[in-house]
Chains A and B, each alone.
Chain A
C-alpha cells in the first residue's frame, strides 16, 4: 500500500512541479511594449503567391492593398520581392501617390524581380549581381541630417539550400564592402528552413547549408526581426531584415499578419531602428 501512496504522492508532486515551471503565457512574457522610434522604418514583403498557384508572382489586383499597407505603415524604405517587372512597379508607385521612388533589379534567370521603394527623392538605386541572380540596393538618407543608409532587397532560391548559401555568401561579401561608408540593411526572403521545433533532429545537407548561410549573416549583421515570429504560412520565418550589429535601439518589430491579400503566402515584416 505504501508503495502506491508514495507513487501517487510523487505523481502529484510532478504535476505540481510541471504547473509551477510552466512557461508564462505570451502576453505575460513580453514586458513593456517596444519603444517606438522614428529614425528609420523599413518594411520587407514578398508579395508573390503560394507555390500552388499558376502564377506565383505578384498580382496587379493586389497592388492597391499593398499600397494601402505601405501608406498606413509609412516606412522610409520598402524591400519587395516577386514583382513581375517594371510595369507592375510603376502601377504601385502610382498607387503610392508619388510618395515613393522605386526601382527593380535587373533580370536574371528568374521571371521575377526584387524591388526597392524609398521616400527620399535623392535616393540612388544600385543593381547587385549575385551569381545568376540580381538583388537591388538603394542608397538614401531617411532625414537630411542622418547618415547614408543602404537597403538591399534580396530573394534567395526557394528550392535549393546550396544555391541559397552561394547567394548569401556573395550578397554578404557585397554588403560588407559597403558597410564602411553606409549603414547597410539587408531585407528580403531568404527561404532559410531553420525552425528547430518543426524539424527532425537528423542531420541533412540542406539544414547544414541554411544553418551556415544564416550564421554567416549573423557574423556581420543583426537579425532585427527575430522576435517577431513567423513571416509566412506553415509557420515559417523566412523573411528577414538584417542590420548593422552595433545598432542599439530597436523599436517596433512586427509581422503584419493581417496584411496579406489574395493567395499571398508571406506577410510584411516591419522594423524600426534608431541609429
Chain B
C-alpha cells in the first residue's frame, strides 16, 4: 500500500496539471487584489483605499485578514472544486485512456488499495491547494492591504447575523481550521469525481460530470423554488466549512455537517471500490 501511495505521489508531482492549479490560484489572488483596489477607487470617487476602509463602521474593516477571507470564500465555491474534480476525475480514467490501467491491475495489488491510494493522493492535493491558497492570501493581504482584526458584518459573506469581531491571532488560527474543514468538505467532490473516473473512461467526461453535478446542485440549492430540497444536497452540507469563521463557532452544527460530509465521502468511496472491483477493464 505504501509503495502504491509513493508511486501515486510521484505521478501527482510529475503532472503538469498539479502545478497549473497553483498557478491559477496565484492568478486568482492577483485578480482579487485588482478587483479590491478598483472597487475601492470606483466607490470612493478616486479617493481609493483610505476612504474605502471607512465605509464600514470600523476604520480597519478592510485589512489583510478580510481580504484573505473574501478571496477564500469566493474561490471555494467555484474555483477549488474544479481543481479537485480535475485531480480526482483523472485518477482512474486517465490510466484507462493511456492504456496503463490494465497493466496496473495485473500487478499483485488489490483494486481497492489502488482506489484508496488514488483518493489519498487527491486528498493531499486538495489539502495542499487550500493551504497554499490561504497562505498566499494572508501574505498578499498583509503586504498589500495591512494587518488587523477580522471584523464581520451581516450581509456580505453571509457569515453572521450580527456584527462580530475575531482578534487577529485567533483569526489566524481560524484560517488554520479552515484548511482542515475546507479540505474535509472538498473530499466529497473528490470522492464523487473518483466515482465518475471509474464509471467513465474519459478523464474529461469524469471531470465535467462531477462539476456539472456540483454546479447543478449548488445553483438549484440557491433557487427559492427548490428550497425544500436544499437540505438533501451535498453542496448544502459542504458549506459547514465556513462556520470556523463565525465569532462563536457553532461546534455542534459543525461536527454534524462534518460527519454528513464524511458519510458522503466514505459512501461514495465504497461505491467506487465495489464498481471498480466488478469492472471489466478493457483498456
Q: A and B, one complex? A: yes
- Among the 9-residue stretches A40-48, A137-145, A192-200, the one with 4 or more Cβ atoms under 8 Å from chain B is A192-200
Assembly CA distance A17 to B264 (angstroms) = 13
Residues of A within 8 A of B263 (CB): 11, 14-15, 18
- Among the 9-residue stretches B13-21, B84-92, B152-160, the one with 4 or more Cβ atoms under 8 Å from chain A is B152-160
B161 within 8 A of A: yes
Among B116, B155, B157, residue most surrounded by chain A Cβ atoms (within 10 Å)? B155
Query: Distance in Å from the Cβ of B119 to the closest Cβ of chain A?
Result: 10
- Among the 9-residue stretches B98-106, B202-210, B266-274, the one with 4 or more Cβ atoms under 8 Å from chain A is B266-274
- Among the 9-residue stretches B121-129, B131-139, B193-201, B253-261, the one with 4 or more Cβ atoms under 8 Å from chain A is B253-261
In B50-83, which residues have CB < 8 Å from any A CB?
Answer: 55-57, 70, 73-74, 77
Instruction: Assess whether A3 is in contact with B255, with CB atoms less than 8 Å apart.
Output: no
A39 within 8 A of B: no
Assembly CA distance A20 to B273 (angstroms) = 27
Q: Which of A1, A23, A204, A211 meets B253, CB within 8 Å?
A: A23
Instruction: Assess whether B224 is in contact with A215, with CB atoms less than 8 Å apart.
Output: no
Assembly CA distance A199 to B156 (angstroms) = 10
Q: Mark A204-223, 1 if CB is under 8 A from B, else 0.
A: 10011111101110110001
What is the interface size of chain B, counting residues whose CB is below 8 A from a CB of the partner? Answer: 44
Residues of A within 8 A of B227 (CB): 198, 235
> CB-nearest residue of chain A relative to B157?
A201
Residues of B within 8 A of A203 (CB): 70, 74, 156-157
Query: Distance in Å from the Cβ of B276 to the closest Cβ of chain A?
Result: 11
Query: Distance in Å from the Cβ of A166 to the closest Cβ of chain B?
Result: 13
Task: Say yes or no: A223-B224 contact (C-beta < 8 A), given A7-B269, A212-B55.
Answer: no
Instruction: Assess whether A199 is in contact with B158, with CB atoms less than 8 Å apart.
Output: yes
Q: List 12 A-B contacts (CB under 8 A).
A: A10-B262, A13-B262, A14-B266, A18-B256, A196-B161, A198-B227, A202-B74, A203-B74, A203-B157, A208-B55, A218-B163, A223-B162
Taking A3-B273, A196-B159 as given, write out 7 further A-B residue pairs in contact, using a Cβ cutoff of 8 Å, ordered by the A residue number.
Answer: A4-B112, A7-B269, A17-B255, A197-B158, A201-B158, A203-B74, A216-B57
A interface residues with partner B (beta carbon < 8 Å): 1, 3-4, 7-8, 10-11, 13-18, 20-23, 194, 196-204, 207-212, 214-216, 218-219, 223, 226, 234-235
